[in-house]
Amino acid sequence: MSDSSPLHPASTLPETQRHHIDARRLLCPMPVIKAQDLIKTLQPGDVLTLVATDPGTLQDIPSWTRVHGHNLELATQTNDEYHFRIIVR
């Protein structure tokens, strides 16, 4: 992969290309709306991490990224939190 690839691990991206949303304690559809609103301002290749506590995000975030053409690189559950890493397309 060349250095210009948008698929670099998030930790190697400049801070300006990494973004985070804390959607804990927000219920559907707010985590998706917050992601959608922020992604509209980002560039292809930017990375968005999102942390939520609403179990519905396990279906909502993957569905939303698929419909809108973004790459869901990570979707995990840790205790009562759901962690997502989205590569903007």
58-74 pLDDT, tens digit per residue, is 999 999 999 999 999 99
Output helix, strand, coil percentages for the chain, rounded to the nearest 5: 30, 30, 40
CATH of region 15-87, choose from 3.40.50.300, 3.40.50.1980, 3.40.47.10, 3.30.110.40: 3.30.110.40
CA dist., res. 80 & res. 89, Å (int): 29
Q: How confident is the model at residue 15 (pLDDT cuts 50, 70, 90)?
A: low
Q: Give the residue numbers annotated as catalytic, written as ranges.
A: 28
Secondary structure E strands in 1-89 = 18-23, 47-52, 71-78, 81-87
Helix (H) or strand (E) holding 67: helix 57-68
Of residues 2, 4, 10, the one with CA closest to residue 74: 10
pTM: 0.83
